[in-house]
Structure 1
Amino acid sequence: MVTTATGGAEQTLPSRTPGPPVQTLAAREVFTALDASARGLTSADAAARRARFGPNELPPARRRSLWRELAGQFTDLFAVVLLIASAITFLAYGLQEPREVGTLQLAVAIAGVVVLNAGIGFAQEYSAERTAESLQAMVPHTCRVLRDGERQELPARDLSPGDVIVLEAGDAVPADCRLVEAHEVSVNNAALTGESDAVARTADPVPAGPVLEARNCLFMGTDVVAGSAKAVVFATGAATEFGGIFRLASSATRQKTPLQLQVASMARRVAGAALAIGAALFAVRLPAGQPFVETFVFSLGVMVALVPEGLPATLSVSLAIGVRRMARRHALVKQLLAVEALGSTTVVCTDKTGTLTQAEMTVVQAWAGGVRHPVSGVGYAPEGEVADPPLVRDLLRASALCSNARLLPPSADAGTSAPAEFRGWRVLGDTTEGALLVAAAKAGLDRAVEEAAAPRVAEYPFDSVRKLMSTVHGDAGRGYRTYVKGAPQELLARCTTIDWGGERRPLNEGLRAAVIAANDELASQGLRVLAAAWRPVSGPRPAQEEAESELTLLGLVGMLDPPRPEVSDAVAACRRAGIRIVMVTGDHPLTAEAVARRVGIVTGPAPTVVTGDRLDALDDDALDRLLAVPGELLMCRVSPEHKMRVVSAFQRRGEVVAVTGDGANDAPALKHADIGVAMGASGTDVAREAAVMVLLDDSFASIAAAVRLGRSVYQNIRKFLIYLFSHNIAELVPILAATFAGFPLVPISAVQILAIDLGSDVLPALALGAEPPESDVMDRPPRSRRERLFSTAVMGRILFLGGIQALGVTAVFFWHIHASGVPYSDFTKHDLVYREAITMVQAGIVVSQFFNALAVRTDRQSVFRVGLLSNPWLLAAGGFGIALMAAISYLPPLQSLFNTAPLAASDWAVLAAFGALLLVAEEARKWWLRRPRATRPKGEAR
């Protein structure tokens, strides 16, 4: 038996003889070890293996059923409390003699509130999550396979261990496999390792070791960028390296957002206070001779007055507004609560390629004859120019001819509906070689013309030992030439002469030092440097030693993956907002630091650079101490386990961590982070599945915009919490006042309270949730994870505004009762004066809430400075609430339901005066806070 151990699992394959790992075998021995054949599996054998090992696909993402998602909406503590209250009220209705229809109405109304909240929350969550499910599977749908000795195209899910697959440039690798034939093969392993550079592959045996490091193996989810190959599959589905990372991501726990924790804490406190106050009032009224059932229903009404029934629906819809705003900024949010989590972010762990950079290698410098030649333009579009092109023409011509990549123009029929990769210039093959082709085109070279003039007749592919690639070309009238490109140090050692300003000179020590100095200068700028050279050869098939010795150096080219132009401003905005940005990448430290400096992540002379090897040497305490040191930090050459460990360490310190990523290797950290941000255009399916937010444009700038919107969402949540809870005081205080004054009836019924909470309050609260971000929102530090949603300042405003409303409505209630001259004991619930009084209480709360909504739009700034009419939705919502209140007062069916009576115009005038007084008082408070510091009493906080 042969056992192939991968990061995902182990697959034990049938074998004629036991043997060493497949990567150590010669190509012809691989078939025997895997019980396969160069002609591929037979159809019968393939079917048997597929039945044994299962389909070549990752297990589907586990999702809760619709019923479970809907049921989850009823587990909120507010919902539980209200459901219990509804059930008890139904029970009280059954025990009453005679039965009061008002008790039944209350029970039905409370249950209806819970169902309404659950429906709204479910609809918003379902919409947000399903919008994000337009994701294509990363494993290719079809692949080319040898079956029964013939090449066939089959679904990738039908692959089994032992299958022989055929691969070419541009193909995605459908399973883990061992190369048995390789022709100039290079692959991009970014999905697994995070490194964006293409790496060469060989069919030759390699020493035993981790299979992921085997240069003769290819892995599911990676891409062939150059060459062609045949390979034998040795692991499929969840047993692949890709599948191992998928399982690691599945086992990572999803962290609760700060808002979830805050709302849960708030719900416990509010529910506890409501139950305690209701029980206390029950204990006070019952000994006074009130009937048991009526006293119990009264206490339930008080409890309902304190529970903000409209809060869950308001919170869900407000977060949904944030989701839609973020979608307009190219950020797709899959979970509503993630909107606010972004606003509390204190650390962003970002990868490099594709997020900070454009994922398009670009030549920016050419060096020849001792002179640097800047190259303008970025990306793969051949738009730009080379300074003094005649002086670097030979250098760029040699680089282009010694390349296998192809530069493809935009598809002729690629409209806006076409995939993004077909709407612009693109490279088929190695991205480094693509950059060389673009630079040659900018210098006026037409590769097709050059290849026609000097057709290729032989090639010596790149390998990691020589670090060179050579091609032999027939040059009309001049015999044959070899063009060589590769690592400058390796190529320079093989050169004896140099092209210096069009003159061929011996490469003496002085000129050699000049080349080395030029290479070091380019490398210090974070550029990837390649050298190119040439020599005449004796024939079309020279020995490799002849082809790559005694060369003439043509010069150097420096290239980079250019940063996205908008990233620098976004990084600066995050810095102003007090957010620490840590680059976490699989790339080389020098490359990472160079990009970090270009975008502003690193500005100091000596950032802390930590490699994966150093992370392995640190225990958790040492890592915590390292992260506790303020300053610029780069994590380079890291693995998926490293990335998740760094995220966990930041979270132990109380940080709210956002993580960006695009590869399968990023998925565990994306899921474990407080907010996982995946790339939508270049990201893998596994990464997008693990994240709660997907950047449709892959740009870090969208993260900064989302943080700004997230912060505004939190501010708006606080605004409508002040708005919602302040009127709860106005509902409770009259009831308490009536209890202690000995008035036998309630100044406001539970059904009236529900009408206020859902009919008059929800729409203005939603309009407050749609307030745009304040101008200085990104100039404030992030709030602490331990900061309470009900801070001292928030509670102070709730008590201030609620107290004014409570005094007003309590005063109008007792004023109306006393004005009638009727003793308290003579009042009944059907008495006209009583009905008018409770109608004035309900209308007083509604009218004062209209002015309250205007008051809470700003924290310090005058609402008149912002503009009373600048939020028309708020005015319309407030007007709707007052119109609804008028309907409750004047329409007979609603009068019967709410036990109300029509109000006179003078009553409305009195209520409007109390509401205006609230706005004036709040403006006076803001003015007091805005006073210059010099006029403040000593010690007063600003």
Structure 2
Amino acid sequence: MPTIGTEQSAPDGGEAAGAASGRVAPPAVRELAADGVYTALGTSRRGLPAAQARAGLERYGSNELPPAGRRAVWWLLGAQFTDLFAIVLIVASGITFLAYWLEEPRDVGTLQLALAILGVVVLNAAIGFAQEYSAERTAQALGAMVPRTCRVLRGGERLELPARELVPGDVVVLEAGDAVPADCRVVEAHELAVNNAPLTGESNAVGRTADPMAAGPPLEAHNCVFMGTDVVAGSGRAVVFATGAATEFGRIYRLAAAAPRQKTPLQLQVASMARRVAGAALAIGALMFAVRLPTGESAVTLFVFALGVMVALVPEGLPATLSVSLAIGVRRMARRHALIKQLLAVEALGSTTVVCTDKTGTLTQAEMTVTQVWAGGAPHPVSGVGYEPNGEVADGAPVRELLRVAGLCCNARLVPPTGPRERRRVLGDTTEGALLVVAEKAGMNLGAEEAAAPRVTEFPFDSDRKLMTTVHRTGVGYQACVKGAPGELLARCTDREWDGRRALLTRADREAVVAAGDALASQGLRVLGIARRELDGPRPAQEEAESALTLLGLVGMLDPPRPEVTDAVAACRRAGIRVVMVTGDHPLTGEAVARRVGIVRRPDPVVVTGARLDAMDEEALDALLAESSELLLCRVSPEHKMRVVTAFQRHGEVVAVTGDGANDAPALKHADIGVAMGASGTDVAREAASMVLLDDSFASIATAVRLGRAVYQNIRKFLVYLFSHNIGELIPILAATFAGFPLVPISAVQILAIDLGSDVLPALALGAEPPEPDVMDRSPRSRHERLLSAAVVGRILFLGGIQAACVSAVFFWHIGSAGIPFDDFTEDTLAYQEAVTMVQAGIVLSQFFNALAVRSDRQSILRVGLLSNPALLAAGGFGVALMAAISYLPPLQAVFNTAPLAASDWAVLGGLGTLPLLADEARKAWLRRRAARPKGGPR
């Protein structure tokens, strides 16, 4: 049995399926007359009796959508311990605790090591949880799309009830300004018009009728209204036929819920890096255990040694550093009107290669504006944009009558701002709002005009006539004011009035009007014709009121592009980011806006409609996306949008999608980075997105991409910083092993002190580095590019190798100068304690200079500025102060087995510590010279 409004069978057949889903299943009500609708839905003009409504609520359930899934607090906290680095450290801590209990006698140092490793895991988890929990706290938004109350007829009585109590068969009373509470069939319509933008993406007001209609797509049924849309004009009554998840809005909600959330490139890269690093750490630790096993040391002692090797390789501070660095990016973007809901979305923006953007409100101002008035064979440009009456009509006197008639033939109203940050808005059709504003710009007082010519009759706009007519009483009789599609209007005109002179409409005049309309349309303007007729009485027949008209002229209007968007699109082009417009609007309108903002520059862009997409298979779609550099997708549905996003992702693109309506939610969720509108967008779009633009502007996307790229650059900087000193920790241990020295040059507890005490703060300061000047002049990186690329690994080995050579030389020089055979050294030997202290201090000092070196890839630190990142200098100073405390304070000496260093020791270490910075400056100078060398010149 077909379901109402969709002409499709209920899933799993029969009435039970319809009842469970909140949708009844009689014959399609769109095809029935009003009386037949009441019968089919088991109700009457008086509405449902109270008892029947209660039974319906039990049968169909509440008229609300399922709540959005939220990750519980315990789940967020537990997820912090599933990171591979965390797992490795947890296992290491557990085995170390076990080793402590198995030792005879028990070594308190082993217990300290176990506790220190566990403390690292807990600290990382606490930082990560705090950042994730802050990002996850968003309101339960989907429920807000359903209005809280609505007016319903129950047993002939008009009641205001919670919308959640609506059931199929309820008769709903609708008026201008109401939100539609469920999917309903209109049974009475008095100039009723709705805005279906949340479902279709088109912001035009669409008239509703109570007349039967033939079968077709649900959203094209002009005798139905749908949950989540708004009544913008008129009034009427409608009978509910679907509630909750069974509505069209609910269908889109289910589509969005089913779309998987894509992992960002950084998530994939960090996971890959973690596997490699953890695998290398375990392998090298196991190798060191095997190498020293023949020496006869106990298995527990050897294990603790191998564990120190492993800890030296694992970047314990990386998870916390990564989380806080991303959080810094979030705060920076928030200051630029971009609210990030998921931390990893920050970096995903930086790797974006394709932006699929909608038109209305993102590229444009979502404020229809008249830009041209044509009359008497001459154009009259109009200045100013938006709904504020700032601007003027050039030579406005000849078009005052045209604008008076257009203003009278409007149902919209301009609502003044209610707060200092608000602007005027339109209650009703935005096209009519634009006509009211242009009349004000011409110096007209429409309030006075309406008082002088009160309305007595109206013939509302419908899609067949493409006209709207109002009849007004004037001082000398009655007058019909007509506006509509130029072609339809011109066919009904017999004469014209230009420059105050009335004359017959000749063939040449008609050709001039058609040419003027085509010229306006070619500019992407929406064109309306304006006419009038004198009448004998207040109640003419529609055909009489709309025939033998006097043509006054044409009006051209558009939703103007945001002024900042053109520069933002150009910045995306320079950055190698492809911008594709995806809109539900008409192709001509879409192309005109795309040209104005620079998305389209060629004379022959590829414009594809939803109907053409339906005819394409996957292979044809892939070919279209690969070959068409300038592409516009118009008249598309939510399924089309998500299909295009999926196709781009198959090509390896990192896709950002913008949207504001509920119809955009599936694509927003499926994209690598979903960008919703904060000011004009729907709650369901904001719920599905990873990022919300607080100002709705595409320019904020370009700014966010710039900041996202900076985040990735900074992540690489602190990776070089963190991993380079890991080499400085590992090489001395390996050198001591192969040299036959019985003790480690640096203990696992000292390594943890360096990783967390001396490294995390500088790494965080590196994460706060501002974007480099040329960040938007580079091409996006590939989705498959490794975080630890060959260039990054090479720099890690270069800087880490210098540190390792320096601290290894210091260690063996100090051990050798003691004049004690290797086998006689114990952990209590003063020379050994001084040597390990010098190794730890040497790594800390060299890392201070290393942090300065990695601030840029090619620029000299002198050009960047030694003092331009004071947080980095403060963090490095804290690390050196902590190292001094470990060297000189007895309680810390006991924990780390260190000894006080002499001033000469610090001088030697300071000199060696500058070597990584000096060596990297030389490397950068060589790279700059090579880049500046002319191609084909001497090598």
Give unmatched runs, 5+ long, in structure 2. 12-16
Partner of 2:922: 924
Contact 1:2 1:13 in 2 (8 A): no
Q: Which residue of 2 aligns with 1:431?
A: 430
Deviation, structure 1 residue 36: 1.1
8 Å CA contact retained: 2:838, 2:905? yes
1:179 maps to: 186
Note the alpha carbon deviations across 1:759-816, whole angstroms, 9 max, x for none.
0000000000000001110011100111111111111110110011001111111111
Structure 1 938/739 Cα, relative in aligned 2: closer, same or farther at 3 Å?
A: farther
Matched residues in 1 for 2:211 and 2:937: separation? 77
Aligned residue in 2 for 1:745: 743
Match of 2:492 in 1: 494
2:792 to 779, 791, 794: 794
Cα distance in 2, alignment partners of residues 915 and 754 from structure 1: 20
1:121-200 residue pairs with structure 2 within 5 A?
A: 121-130=128-137, 137-200=144-207
Change in CA separation of 1:18 and 1:303 when aligned onto 2, cut-off 3 Å:
closer
SS of aligned partner of 1:227: strand
Q: Which residue of 1 aligns with 2:664?
A: 666
Aligned to 2:14: none
**Aligned residues of 2:3 and 2:26 also touching (Cα < 8 A):** no
Task: Report the CA distance between 1:932 and its aligned residue.
Answer: 4.9
Q: 1:653 aligns with which of 651, 654, 658?
A: 651
Per-residue CA distance 1:345-369 (angstroms, 9 max, x = gap): 0000000011111111111100011
- Distance across 1 between alignment mates of 2:3 and 2:10: 10
Cα deviation per residue 1:723-770 (whole Å; 9 max; x = unaligned)?
000000000000000000000000000000000000000000000000
- Does the 8 Å contact 1:9/1:238 carry over to 2? no
Contact 1:8 1:238 in 2 (8 A): no
2:458 is matched by which residue type in structure 1?
E
Q: What is the percent sequence identity of the aligned residues?
A: 77
- 1:293-308 mapped onto 2 (5 Å cutoff): 293-308=300-315
Match of 2:414 among 395, 400, 407: 407
Give the aligned length.
Answer: 931
Equivalent in the alignment of 1:393: 400
- Other structure's SS at 2:260 match: coil
Alpha-carbon contact 1:8-1:239 (below 8 Å) kept: no
2:326 aligned with 1:327:
no
Matches within 5 A, 1:885-896: 885-896=883-894
Task: Give the aligned residue type for 1:653.
Answer: H
The alignment status of 1:573 with 2:580, answered yes or no, reads: no
Q: Matches of residues 776-855 of structure 1 in structure 2 within 5 Å?
A: 776-855=774-853
The aligned runs of 1:319-358 (5 Å cut-off) are 319-358=326-365
Partner of 2:251: 244
Q: Which whole-Å deviations, capped at 9, do the CAs of 1:463-505 have from their partners, x for residues lacking one?
A: 11100011111111x2111110000000000001011221111
Comparing 492-501 with 124-133, greater Cα deviation is found at 124-133
1:387-417 deviations in whole A, cap 9, x for unaligned?
1111110111000001111111112xx245x
TM-score under structure 1 length normalisation: 0.97
AA aligned opposite 1:595: V
The amino acid that maps onto 2:742 is: P
Select which of 42, 46, 50 maps to 1:39.
46
Q: Deviations over 1:231-271 (max 9, x none)?
A: 11110000000000000000001111000111111001101
1:4 alignment partner, SS class: coil
Q: Deviations over 1:136-190 (max 9, x none)?
A: 7111111111123222222111111111111111111111001011011111111
* Range with bigger deviation, 621-630 or 717-726: 621-630
What amino acid is the match of 1:904? A
Query: Which secondary structure state, in structure 1, belongs to the residue aligned with residue 557 of structure 2?
Result: strand
Paired residues of 2:4 and 2:30 also in contact (CA < 8 A): no
> Which residue of 2 is the match for residue 441 of structure 1?
440
Is 1:255 aligned with 2:253?
A: no
How far 1:20 sits from its partner (Å)? Answer: 2.6
In structure 1, stretches of 5+ residues that fail to align are 417-422
1:96 corresponds to: 103
Question: What is the CA-CA distance between 1:4 and the residue it aligns to?
Answer: 2.6
Aligned mates of 1:84, 1:939 — CA distance in 2: 57
TM-score when scaled to structure 2?
A: 0.97
Checking the alignment, whether the CA contact within 8 Å between 1:8 and 1:245 is kept in structure 2 is: no
Amino acid at match of 2:539: R
Is structure 2 residue 70 aligned with structure 1 residue 63? yes
**CA distance in structure 2 between the partners assigned to 1:916 and 1:795 by the alignment:** 21
- Aligned residue for 1:85? 92
**SS of residue paired to 1:137:** helix
Establish whether residue 373 from structure 1 lines up as the match of residue 380 from structure 2: yes
Moved over 3 A (4+): 5-15, 131-136, 932-941
- Superposition RMSD in Å: 1.8
Deviation, 1:580, is 0.2
- The structural deviation recorded for 1:135 is 8.1
Give the 3 Å change call, closer, same or farther, for CA 919–895 of structure 1 in structure 2. Answer: same
User: Are the equivalent residues in 1 in contact too, given 2:723–2:796 (CA < 8 A)?
Assistant: yes
Query: What is the SS of the residue equivalent to 2:894?
Result: helix
Residue 635 of structure 1, CA deviation: 0.5
User: Relative to 1, partners in 2 of residues 1:312 and 1:736: Cα closer, same or farther, differing over 3 Å?
Assistant: same
- Is the CA contact (8 Å cut-off) linking 1:846 and 1:885 kept in structure 2? yes
Match for residue 117 of structure 1? 124
Q: 1:134 Cα deviation (Å)? A: 7.5
The residue aligned with 1:462 is 461
2:3 and 2:10 in contact (8 A); partners too: no
| 1:140 match: secondary structure | coil
Q: Which residue of the partner structure matches residue 704 of structure 1?
A: 702
Aligned-pair CA distance for 1:616: 0.7
Q: For 2:87 and 2:205, how far apart are their aligned partners in 1?
A: 56
When residues 875 and 18 of structure 1 are mapped into structure 2, their CA distance, relative to the original with a 3 A threshold, is closer
The change in CA–CA distance for 1:200 and 1:223 in structure 2 (over 3 A counts) is same
Query: Does the aligned pair in 2 maintain the 1:8–1:243 contact within 8 Å?
Result: no
Q: What secondary structure sits across from 2:481 in the alignment?
A: strand
Question: What secondary structure sits across from 1:518 in the alignment?
Answer: helix
Aligned-pair CA distance for 1:689: 1.0
Aligned to 1:453: 452
Q: 2:390 pairs with 380, 383, 391, which one? A: 383
Quick check: 1:812–1:841 contact (8 Å CA) kept in 2?
yes
Paired residue type of 1:707: V
- Report deviation, 1:12: 3.5
Q: What is the alpha-carbon distance in structure 2 between the residues aligned to residue 135 and residue 709 of structure 1?
A: 30
Aligned counterparts of 1:238 and 1:799: Cα–Cα separation in 2: 57
Give the equivalent residue in structure 1 for 2:769.
771
Whether the aligned pair in 2 keeps the contact of 1:2 and 1:33 (CA below 8 Å) is: no
Please state how far the C-alpha of 1:935 moved relative to its aligned partner.
5.4
| Candidates 637, 640, 643, aligned match of 1:639 | 637
In structure 2, C-alpha distance between the alignment counterparts of 1:65 and 1:770, rounded to whole Å: 30
The whole-number CA distance in structure 1 between the counterparts of 2:230 and 2:246 is: 19
Distance in 2 between residues matched to 1:767 and 1:132, nearest whole Å:
32
